[in-house]
Each structure stands twice: as structure tokens, then as C-alpha cells.
Structure 1
Amino acid sequence: MNDWHSWAALVVFVGAYALIISEKIHRVAVALGGAALMLALGATDDKSAFYSEHSGVDWNVIFLLFGMMMIVGVLKRTGMFEYLAIWSVKRARAKPFRVMAMLVVITAVASALLDNVTTVLLIAPVTLLVCERLGLPAIPFLIAEVLASNIGGTATLVGDPPNIIIASRAGMTFNDFLVHLAPLVGVLLIVLVLMCRVMFRKVFVYNEDRAAEIMALEEREAIKDPRMLIQGLVVLALVVAGFILHPVLHYEPSVVALLGAGLLITISKAQTGEVLGEVEWPTLAFFAGLFIMIGGLIETGVIGEISKALADLIGDNEFGGSMLLLTASAVLSGLVDNIPYVATMAPITSDLVEGMGGGSDHVLWWSLALGADLGGNATAIGASANVVVLGIAERNRQPISFWQFTKYGLIVTAVTVLLALGYVWLRYFTLA
């Protein structure tokens, strides 16, 4: 980091991060302002910012979000989310903790089968309606679901974007992730539900009158447009199938989402302008700015220096390296979005694995995946799902502050990362 561009990029990023934490300026303005400064200072340029797969805006993430937001926008008009809200509350007998536990488990399982960003886009509207019906604050439920989405997404290749990057680099399969990570994720999900019972205990106030009102409702009456609902569910099923069949079809999730959105707009009677109005444009702008800022750190070598320093510390020590890589990845993924972090760290991990004579299922790969995925829960901008839910909450006039999310995220991250360290030690070094 001898070049002044490196220090300038670091100052801009740290300054922007401090402003996001302080919330004195809206995070979208900070992200776009930081991106503009990175470009003005020459830390990155238009080619790197807009066209580079390594250090530019991750358009796959942007268009995946855009496509799924369009699909969700159509489904909102059918009454499906109202139906699901009434159905879930009735199944939980309108008991707040049971409702949260149900939503957390559903979110985690869906995040493993789809991906965590798509899942929170679908489950957040249901949660807002559930809380409205029960007269409960939605913020604790939304936070719990984000934490569950990042934990559940850890279990599979398609569950969390960093896993896709790791699988591509290491030559892993869908089943590799299931065998190595799903057992731990099952344990972490149980732990999360128990932690939610403690962390959000003040929220679980049972209201008999509201409960009676909901139990008397007929959920089928909430459906406003059955034909559009069927069309939407068919398209959503095709999109999900496209996500799962990615290794066979070789279509990126973003392409699948855009194809699904285009098909649904074409065959349904939904007005394009109205559906576009449902898109979380500030969230997409925030992601673009954040990617450019992190790209400035990559282009100037800041992240590369951090990664190389980590690699030097690891050397050829498998056990110490695994523990260090998992812990450091959790910390760094909480500070910067875990997607560009893993994109930067994957080739370095590959070199380490080759130096140790390991294969695609080497413990270092699983340490990187666990650290990056679980570490994404640490702060409000640690993972894509976190940012998406913050945007949805703000749009529905229930804003979640940086620290409001982070005070719970840090606790859950600390506990889950400690359990992950124990899992890695037990499975790959004690019982191996």
C-alpha cells in the first residue's frame, strides 16, 4: 500500500462506513457519494466499476434482485401474501413466539433451496402483514428472518452467493455442500430459534382479542385475483427450478429471474408501471455504490494486501489456518459485503489448498464458506439479504437502524461462528 490511491480509497471507505453507522446521512447517499469519490480520485475507473467481474458492480446480484422484485410486485396484487399471513398465524394459534419460530424455520429452509435474497423478498411482505394483524412490531421478526436466511443459505451451493463463487473455484457440487455444511446448519437453526426466544422476549405479547379475530378469518377470502395467482405461482416455480438446475442449464440466477419477470409481466394483466413501482430502487442504488467502493479497495490492492497477510499467517498449518480463515472471514464479511470478499479470497484459498496437497473438499474451503456466510449476519451491510430487508422495512415505514440490526447480528454471529469453529475442529481434525 505504497501508492497514495490505496490510502485514499481506504479513507473514503472508512469514512463512508462511519457515516452509514452514524445514520446522519442516508446510506444510499453515502454509498453513491463514496462511489463517486472513488471514481474521482482514480481509485477505480469506469471500465473497472461497470465492466469488471473482479472489482465492478456485480450485475448478477443487481438483476437477480430486480427480477425477483418484479415477480414479488405481481404476486402482491393477487392477495397471496395476505393469505399466507392469515394461514401462518392460524397454524401458530396466534402465539407470537410460535409465529416467529415458524417464520424463522420457513425462511431458513427456503433460503437453502432458493437463495437467501429471493427468500427474504418473498417472506418479508408476509411478515409485515402478520405483525400488522397481531399488533406486533415487525422489526424483531424481520431481523430474525434475515439471520435465519444467512444461516439457512449456508447449507447449499445456491443458498448464498459466496457459496456459488467457492463452488465455481473449487469445482464443488450441490451435494458437497449438503454433506459438509447442512448438518451444522441444522444445529445452528435450532440454536437461533432458542436465541430468538431470549433476544426478543419482550415482543411476545399475546393479544386475545386480535388472536380471536384472526382465528375467525377465512384465508381464501384474501385472494383477489386467482388467475394471476396461478400464473405467478407457475412462473415462480419455473424460476425456482431454474435456480436449482443451474449446474445443468448454466443460466445465471439473474438471467433466470429476468426471464421469469418478463414472462409473468407478459402473460398476466399486471400493469408494468405499477409493478416497477414496487421495485426497491434505493436498495439497488445502494448495492451499486457499495460494489464500486469495494471495487476501489480491490483495484488499489487494499483487500489483496489483507488477503495476502492472512495467507502468510496460515502458511501450511491446516488446523491453525482453518481456525484463522474462518474467524477472519467472519470479521471481514461483517465489514464489507461477503460477495466481493469471497471473490477476492477464493483464488488465495485455492493456492493454499494446492500447497497443502488438498482437493475440492479441503477443510479450508469449508472454513471460508462458513466464515463468509455466517459473518454476513454481523452487521446491517454484511450480506445482500440484510440490505434488502432494511430497504423493505424503510419502504413500509418501519426503518431498522444500523445498530438496531447489528446489536443482534453480532451476538448471533459470535455464537454461530464459535459453534462452526467447534464443528470444523471436531469433524475435520478430531474424527477425521
Structure 2
Amino acid sequence: MEFTPAMTLSVIIFAAAYLLIVTEKIDRVIIALGGGVLMALTGLLDHENPYEAIDFNTLALLISMMVIVMITQRTGVFEFLAIKVVKLAKGEPWKVLVYLSFITAIASAFLDNVTTILLILPITLDVTKDLKIKPIPFVISQIFASNIGGTATLIGDPPNIMIGTKTGLSFMDFVINVAPIIVPILFVTIGAFLLVYKKYLHTKEENKKKVLLLNEYEAIKDKKLLTKCLIVLGLTILGFILHSVLNYPSSVVAMTGAVLLLLISGVNPERVFKEVEWKTIFFFAGLFMLVGGLERAGVLEVLAKSIVQQTNGDMFLLGMAVLWVSAIASAFVDNIPFTATMIPLIQEVGVLTGMDITPLWWALSLGACLGGNGTIIGASANVVASGMAEEAGYKITFGQYFKVCFPIMLITVAISTVYLVLRYLI
């Protein structure tokens, strides 16, 4: 396929928008929405429905979970958990980072990673506030942990859900084939962050003692509302786990939980909706339109097809190409449309060559999910977490995140490379 004028124009618009986001001269929400509008005005998106590129299921999931979290926050349960974690860690910041990272990773394997961030990050912000330390190292480590943990199972990350749906691979297939390498990757990642941020993981003894004297049970403000929130949250999590059996999208499950909690909580919906992070939601909308322009112009398809052609169907080269191109691409472009483009192409390779292409699904899963850690906009969890941190007064810049996280992301993909080669490709 030749590179058409439409492809060139879409790449120029996307690259210009991305450059402006990186330089941070203008608010990234304005840039993302502006780039999306340009994609529509230039005809790179459908004239009649330019908004078809927006993944409204993702937005509905985000808004619904934000509503559940905002109502739950009123009970004081996040403050309760924050004090519990600090006491378990005996007030040591580095232990707090380790414990919260592990909690985040485990939760992300059974929830989608965005939901986990929405639930865990308020605890993190409370803990760091009590210990009087900056939360940025903790937020970044949890972004990584959420994406790494989500890679381990069928339901933890959208690319895995898409792969499983299209190929018939089960929950246990992902646990058996992907989860084993996720455990060492998580340990290496946490160790890397402890080294990178060691000078920030200290606090005064008086702060530790002050926090250890706190009574976590006094933090609970509304026990009745807490009971209602926990019931709804439990049902919502159960819905996520069973969504393939129930045949409902995750967004419908989340929205059902949000509506039910609004109904039984007695909290004023207007107040809750004011607390939703609309800035993050609109940033996603613009980003989806930007990537949609690339996808509709055929840029992602050209990239995916070139991978197949350059490897000449050799399983080793194909596996390496799928893993590394998916990782690098997912750091800069949303991994959902990229995964959607790669799936039929990998299936076509299987038909043409007659090879067992199962290892390529694990390469795609690891590359797309882990690669999202590379930049602050590489995955949904990253954008949500950075938005929440900014709301709390701690802005994580693109450059600040990239400098630390892109190299660590490459290490995780390198570990995945060794795993794939030793287990599947030789």
C-alpha cells in the first residue's frame, strides 16, 4: 500500500499535536481537542459522524467509575486504608511505595487498570499528605503497576480483552502464558523506582510517629454509606469478572453500578458530577479523534502490514517485530486501535502459513500493554493518574515522566523478549 496524501496529512497533524503536548506550551486538553477538530475539518474523519472515532465505551467506563469513587470517597474509607498502609509500613516511605505498588498490580489483574487507579490513587495522595512527602514517585510507580498487573489476565487491560474475544483464548490461557513473566517484571520495576526515587523516599521521624498515632477507625465518616458503596463496588467488580459470560460491555457494568449507587446513596448527583474529572475525559475524546484520523487514513494498517512483510513469515522475527513495534507504538499511539489492526493481520499470517500463531498473541499482549507505560499518554491509566495528581496540585510533565519511565518500559519489554524467546520462539 502506497503512502497517500491523506496518510501524510494525518501524520503531520498527529505529530504537530504530539509535539505541542510534549512542549507543554499550551494545555494538552486544548491541543488534543484542537487536533481532533483538525482531523475532522480536513476530512480525515467521517464528515457525517466525526465522533465515531471516540471510544464512548471507554469514556462511559471512566465517568461511571469516577462517580462510584467520588461517592465512596465521602465515607472516609480511603483515609482509613491510607492509615492502615502507613502503619503496616511503619511509616517508611519506601515500604509504602512497595506495598501500594503490589496492591495496585494485584487489583489491576482482576479489574481494568483505570478502575484500579481510580480506587488506589486517592489512598496514595492521602498517605503522602500525612507523611509530608511528594506523591509523584508513588503515582508513577502505580501507573506502571496498574499496566503491568493488567497484562497478566484476560480482563486486566483492553488489548487482552480484544485478543481473547477475537481468538477464543480464555482467562486461564492468559494466566498460564502471560502471568508468569509479569511477576518478575513487577519486582524489577519496583526495584528500579526505589533506586530512581530513593532520595525522595524519606520523611522526618516526627511525621512517621504522628501518622502511626492516628486511629484509622475514626476516619470512617458514614458507615451506612460505606456499606452501600462496598456492596455496589463488589457487584461491579463481579460484573467485570463475568462480563464475557454476561455478554455486557464493561462500560454497561460500570454505568449500572454508578446509577445504582446514585439511587441508593442519597448523594446529590449534581455535586458528584461536578467532581468528575471532565478535563481528563475531554483529553481522551481529543486523543481518540487524533488516533482515529491516523487509523482511517490507513497509517496504522500500513505499519502493521510492513511488520508482516519485513519478517517474511519467520516466527522468531515475527514475534520480535510484533512485541517491539507494539511496545514502541503503544507508548505514543493508543494501544486499542493498534491492537485492533494487528489482530486480523496476525490471523491472516496463520491462514497463509499454516503456522501455530499462538506465541504472536502473547507478543502482542505484552508489547501493547507494557508499551503503554512509556509515556504519560501511552495508556488510559496514565492519563487518569496524571489528571488526578494535577488536581491535587502535583503536575507530572511529559518530559519528567518520559525521562524516567521510557527506559524502564524498555527494560520490561527486554525481559519479555527473553521470556518469549526461551518459551515460544526457539
One of 316, 326, 348 as aligned partner of 2:345: 348
Q: Mapping of 1:33-432 within 5 angstroms? A: 33-47=34-48, 49-51=50-52, 56-358=53-355, 362-430=358-426
Q: Quote how far apart the aligned CAs of 1:4 are.
A: 2.2
Q: Which residue of 1 aligns with 2:28?
A: 27
Distance 1:291 1:368 in 2: 21
Aligned equivalents of 1:39 and 1:247: distance in 2? 34
- Report the aligned-residue RMSD: 1.2
Equivalent residues of 2:243, 2:250 under 8 A apart: yes
Q: Answer yes or no: is the 8 Å Cα contact 1:89–1:130 preserved in 2.
A: yes
How far does residue 13 in structure 1 lie from its aligned partner after superposition? 0.3
Unaligned runs of 5+ in 1: none
Worse-superposed segment, 397-406 or 99-108:
397-406
Question: Once the two structures are superposed, what CA deviation does each residue of 1:108-130 show, in whole Å capped at 9, x if it has no partner?
Answer: 00000101110001111110000
Structure 1 residues 330-349: Cα deviation after superposition (integer angstroms, max 9, x where no partner): 11111101112111211112
**Separation in structure 2 between the aligned mates of residue 110 and residue 346 of structure 1, nearest angstrom:** 27
Structure 1 segments of 4+ aligned residues over 3 angstroms from their partners: 46-49
Identical aligned pairs, as a percentage? 44
Q: Is the 8 A contact 2:130 2:207 kept in 1?
A: yes
Q: Distance in 1 between matches of 2:106 and 2:410?
A: 22
TM-score with structure 2 setting the length? 0.98
> In the TM superposition, what is the alpha-carbon distance from 1:355 to its structure 2 partner?
2.8
2:386 alignment partner AA: L
Query: What CA distance in whole angstroms lies between the structure 2 residues aligned with 1:337 and 1:429?
Result: 27
The alpha carbon displacement at 1:356 in A equals 3.4
C-alpha contact 2:101 2:142 (8 A) present in aligned 1: yes
Q: Within 2, Cα distance between the matches of 1:99 and 1:47? A: 51
The alpha-carbon deviation at position 420 of structure 1 amounts to 0.2
Please say if residues 188 and 416 of structure 1, whose CA atoms lie closer than 8 Å, have aligned partners that are also in contact.
Answer: yes
3-state SS, counterpart of residue 354 of structure 1: helix
Confirm or deny: 8 A CA contact 1:79 1:224 kept in the other structure. yes
Deviation at 1:357, TM superposition (A): 2.4
In structure 2, C-alpha distance between the alignment counterparts of 1:62 and 1:189, rounded to whole Å = 28
- Write out per-residue CA displacement over residues 243-297 of structure 1, whole angstroms, 9 at most, x where no aligned residue: 0001211111100000000000000121111111221101110111111111111
Is 1:18 the equivalent of 2:19? Answer: yes
> For residues 412 and 356 of structure 1, what CA distance do their matches in structure 2 show?
35
Shift, 1:64, TM fit:
0.6
In 1, Cα distance between the equivalents of 2:191 and 2:291?
35
SS of the residue corresponding to residue 316 of structure 1 reads coil
Deviations 1:344-374 (A, max 9, x none): 2111122123333245x71111111111111
Please give the per-residue CA displacement for 1:407-429, whole angstroms capped at 9, x wherever unaligned: 22212111100000000001113
Counterparts of 1:350 and 1:250 in 2: how far apart (Å)? 24
Which shifted more, 10-19 or 390-399?
390-399
Q: Are 2:86 and 2:211, in contact at CA under 8 Å, matched by a contact in 1?
A: yes
Give the whole-Å Cα distance in 2 for the aligned partners of 1:314 and 1:176. Answer: 26
Aligned pair count?
A: 425
Q: 1-side partners of 2:8 and 2:63: how far apart? A: 34
SS at match of 1:308: helix
Deviations 1:371-394 (A, max 9, x none): 111100001111110011111111
Determine if contact 1:6/1:297 at 8 Å carries over to the other structure: yes
What amino acid maps onto 2:24 in structure 1?
E
In 1, distance between residues paired with 2:47 and 2:340? 20
C-alpha separation in 2, matches of 1:147 and 1:46: 38
CA distances 1:310-331 after superposition (whole Å, capped 9, x unpaired): 1211232001110111011111
Q: Aligned letter for 1:153?
A: G
Deviations 1:148-197 (A, max 9, x none): 11111100011011111111111111111000000000111111121121
Q: Contact between 1:353 and 1:362, CA under 8 Å: does it hold in 2? A: no
Matched position secondary structure for 2:374? coil
Change (3 A) 1:46 1:270: farther
Q: Per-residue deviation at 1:46?
A: 4.6
Report the CA distance shift for 1:221/1:185 in structure 2 as closer, same or farther (over 3 A): same
2:371 is aligned with what amino acid? G
For the 8 Å contact 1:151–1:374, the answer to whether it is kept is yes
In the alignment, is the contact (CA less than 8 A) between 2:315 and 2:425 conserved in 1?
A: no
- TM-score of the superposed pair, with normalisation by structure 1: 0.96
